[in-house]
């Protein structure tokens, strides 16, 4: 019990309050467990519906990826189920979320990066990037942002220097 006039911390019910000491560690907080779980997700086979959604995004490429609602409607599944499957595909890394809430397949982005690096260009601006990949500004800029964040290009003012490995 606590001293007269002082309240016990809630939830202790007569037990001494926990102060200091080692942090609690367990499987839920262990980094190794998270890595193991994420590897298991990557290696686990996809459900038929998830595979069909992924195929839609792969077919759409970077120029015309379907939105979650369109994917659900095209496949004839409920939108909530499609949203859950899409979240699963993002967590696995099969789909990438770009700025502006764009979802694209990882393979399509990798192909675009390879194509950009294989080009004869040293630098690229937004207009040239849009023309090269057949994109609108609305998707071209988020994709360039993603390329800048992942080391495919480096921003230099209004142009982007293409970085080659």
Write down the H helix ranges in 21-161.
Answer: 31-43, 48-60, 68-75, 79-92, 106-118, 126-133, 137-149
Query: Given this chain, do its domains 41-105 and 108-162 carry the same CATH topology?
Result: yes
DSSP string, 6-32: -PPPTT-TTSPPP-SSPPP--TTT-HH
Helical pair 48-60 and 106-118, crossing angle rounded to 10 deg = 30
Q: Using alpha carbons only, how large is the chain's radius of gyration in Å?
A: 24
108-162 fold: Arc Repressor Mutant, subunit A (1.10.10)
- Whole-structure pTM value: 0.70
26, pLDDT greater than 90: no
- The H or E element containing residue 102 is strand 102-105
Region 12-17: what's the mean pLDDT? Answer: 50
Q: Cβ of 90: how many Cβ atoms within 10 Å? A: 14
pLDDT category of residue 37 using cuts at 50, 70 and 90: very low
**Which band of pLDDT confidence, cut at 50, 70 and 90, is reported for residue 44?**
confident
Confidence band, pLDDT 50/70/90 cuts, at residue 19 = low
Q: What is the pLDDT of residue 100?
A: 85
Q: What are the domain boundaries of the chain? A: 41-105, 108-162
pLDDT in tens, 51-98: 999 999 999 999 999 999 999 999 999 999 999 999 999 999 999 999
Q: How far is CA 3 from CA 10, 11, 14, 24, in A?
A: 15, 17, 12, 28
Q: What would the pLDDT profile of 94-148 be if each residue is shown by its tens digit?
A: 999 998 889 999 999 999 999 999 999 999 999 999 999 999 999 999 999 999 9
- The CATH classification number of 41-105 equals 1.10.10.2770
């Amino acid at each position: 019990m606590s001293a007269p006039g002082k309240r016990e911390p809630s939830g202790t019910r007569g037990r001494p309050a926990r102060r200091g000491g080692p942090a609690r560690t367990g499987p839920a907080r262990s980094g190794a467990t998270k890595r193991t779980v994420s590897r298991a997700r990557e290696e686990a086979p996809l459900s038929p519906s998830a595979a069909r959604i992924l195929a839609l995004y792969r077919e759409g490429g970077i120029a015309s990826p379907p939105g979650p609602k369109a994917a659900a409607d095209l496949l004839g599944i409920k939108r909530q189920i499609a949203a859950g499957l899409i979240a699963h595909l993002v967590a696995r890394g099969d789909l990438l979320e770009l700025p502006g809430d764009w979802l694209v397949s990882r393979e399509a982005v990798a192909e675009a990066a390879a194509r950009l690096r294989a080009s004869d260009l040293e630098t690229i601006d937004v207009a040239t990037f849009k023309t090269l990949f057949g994109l609108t500004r609305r998707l071209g800029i988020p994709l360039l942002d993603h390329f800048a964040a992942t080391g495919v290009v480096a921003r230099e003012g209004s142009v982007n220097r293409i970085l080659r490995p």
